[in-house]
Structure 1
């Protein structure tokens, strides 16, 4: 295949990375994949986000051995584009690079409905570096809860768990409260024996948002080993994520009984313990899933949405 007009492109962009997949417009078969850095315009800024979007598209065409050109249709699921100005920025970029005449842009959570629910509607929950919950009903009406970012929310996210673990380690260093294995565990991760080294690590940037999120598995491991502080953090954040999901269901006016659920994000996909606890807390909120789909590659949903544009 040598003609970009015979292809669609699906793009999934979030707080950690950006993935672009070129696929056969007729069959949906993936042809090539390209990746870039984070493209959340609210978190990284417009210039950086557009640069990484472009890098992912360029890499996909290069991997396909094709000259870059307009594709038959494009679907972009991007974190941080819920506000109209965000959509306008992305549309402007897409027009500038002549991505496609047929284009759809929405929040990255929308990809989960296409990839992880039987009929393309239900409840979608992402818990990775950040967290958010979306609902989409059978008529296309959407609602959301969460997604406030790491300063104002992101309950049940890897960043939140990593941060609470760090706070607990600092309190333990001050001999305040219950002892916890998180202090020596975090010190080992830092490569230091001095808890005061947490200060420059965090405030001078060695432990940025992504690095703190990457500490979440240490909290979950400590919880699995019976550490009371780590267990409390883990259970609290699973409960908070379930409350966020329940908030989205209420906002969307969907039935709590028999709702299809799609889950994504490293925290939910990679930790069975956290996922099971979240689903248990979801039940405690009165929500009974009819199905639970794990979406480890949301960009598949973007390809589905791009092909739907052609069928219309």
Structure 2
């Protein structure tokens, strides 16, 4: 057992009160173990996706367990209950889903103080002043959520890839594949997307896209490669790619405007963005700001590389008695 020194006092690992922040998305899950008194991160665990829409609930819960166990292992600590936990799990939108997560947390003896937050709340917590503003997630999927200074909340998007997810990495991939097929047929302009995808997937001709994608158990895995390729081509000057990025930005801007206008959050609007698609794309960020500015929405943009930081902040507030489990962030 290791010992640590805090304020001149020697403590063993087992004496340190802990909190847990978890961000569960479609492709990855991150768990951060932190000191309950200071909110200081101690270790991180990672696993595959735990989105309840993208994965079966039992599989999603299994990935949550792997990430949490890994965080304790990386901290060099034996697994034990934490003072408080905040879990932002994409797809946990129904009462029965939340009850399932709560039952699992209780059964696994993770904590007695659990806040299950929409993954968008983590972004707001991590990237806006005092938790007021709009949080936009643009990764595999897309959603915008907001919170005003009275604690009122709103949301737009988050309907999943079959109904919505406009402006997301998946949406960009669909637009790109459609543009590539039109280019191959002569129904649309030439675009560098087609040869770039053939090279990336090591395919010899456009028709191979059909067997490659439709033959996959879940083509969304392959399609997650497409968004970054489109952004790179847009930066290199490919006109079709630039149009796709602009269309994605316009759809994301609609979500942000819908939430901001509903809550009447004053200008400049604090806007925190997260998700691999937008975090790693300066051109998409800029087009988003441009689209909002064109509609008289001035924003203060903050990029949030790791929303799990927001989960840790909320868990710390719970541990300190600053956040009520039922009246805020739910």
Measured against the shorter chain, the TM-score band is over 0.9
- Provide the residue aligned with 2:86 in structure 1: 75
In 1, Cα distance between the equivalents of 2:164 and 2:144? 12
**In structure 2, which of residues 294, 303, 326 is the aligned counterpart of residue 294 of structure 1?**
303
1:180 and 2:160 are equivalent in the alignment: no
Over 6 Å off, 4+ runs: none
1:191 and 2:202 are equivalent in the alignment: yes
Given that 2:191 and 2:241 are in contact with CA atoms closer than 8 Å, whether structure 1 keeps it comes out as yes
Deviation (angstroms), 1:100: 0.6
* CA separation of 1:207 and 1:102: change in aligned 2, threshold 3 A: closer
Given that 2:90 and 2:119 are in contact with CA atoms closer than 8 Å, whether structure 1 keeps it comes out as yes
- Provide the residue aligned with 1:97 in structure 2: 108
List per-residue Cα deviations over 1:145-179 (Å, max 9, x = no partner). Answer: 00111111111111111221111111111121211
List per-residue Cα deviations over 1:257-276 (Å, max 9, x = no partner). Answer: 22211111112211111110
Given that 2:213 and 2:222 are in contact with CA atoms closer than 8 Å, whether structure 1 keeps it comes out as no
Cα-Cα RMSD = 1.5
Written as runs of structure 1 = structure 2, the 5 A alignment for 1:1-312 is 1-3=12-14, 6-205=17-216, 208-251=219-262, 253-255=263-265, 257-289=267-299, 291-312=300-321
Deviation (angstroms), 1:22: 0.6
In 2, Cα distance between the equivalents of 1:206 and 1:198? 14
In 1, Cα distance between the equivalents of 2:15 and 2:243? 52
Range with bigger deviation, 77-86 or 271-280: 77-86
In 2, Cα distance between the equivalents of 1:123 and 1:48? 30
In 2, Cα distance between the equivalents of 1:203 and 1:56? 31
* CA separation of 1:4 and 1:202: change in aligned 2, threshold 3 A: farther
In 1, Cα distance between the equivalents of 2:178 and 2:15? 51
List per-residue Cα deviations over 1:220-244 (Å, max 9, x = no partner). Answer: 2222232222121111111111011
In 2, Cα distance between the equivalents of 1:279 and 1:224? 17
Structure 2 residues without counterparts, runs of 5 or longer: 1-11, 322-330
Structure 1 residues without counterparts, runs of 5 or longer: none
Given that 2:167 and 2:252 are in contact with CA atoms closer than 8 Å, whether structure 1 keeps it comes out as yes
* CA separation of 1:267 and 1:2: change in aligned 2, threshold 3 A: same
List per-residue Cα deviations over 1:18-72 (Å, max 9, x = no partner). Answer: 1111101111111111111101112111011000001111111111121111111
In 2, Cα distance between the equivalents of 1:52 and 1:292? 32
Deviation (angstroms), 1:184: 0.8
Deviation (angstroms), 1:292: 1.9
In 2, Cα distance between the equivalents of 1:27 and 1:258? 31
- Provide the residue aligned with 2:325 in structure 1: none
Given that 1:143 and 1:248 are in contact with CA atoms closer than 8 Å, whether structure 2 keeps it comes out as yes
In 2, Cα distance between the equivalents of 1:140 and 1:248? 14
In 1, Cα distance between the equivalents of 2:149 and 2:107? 34
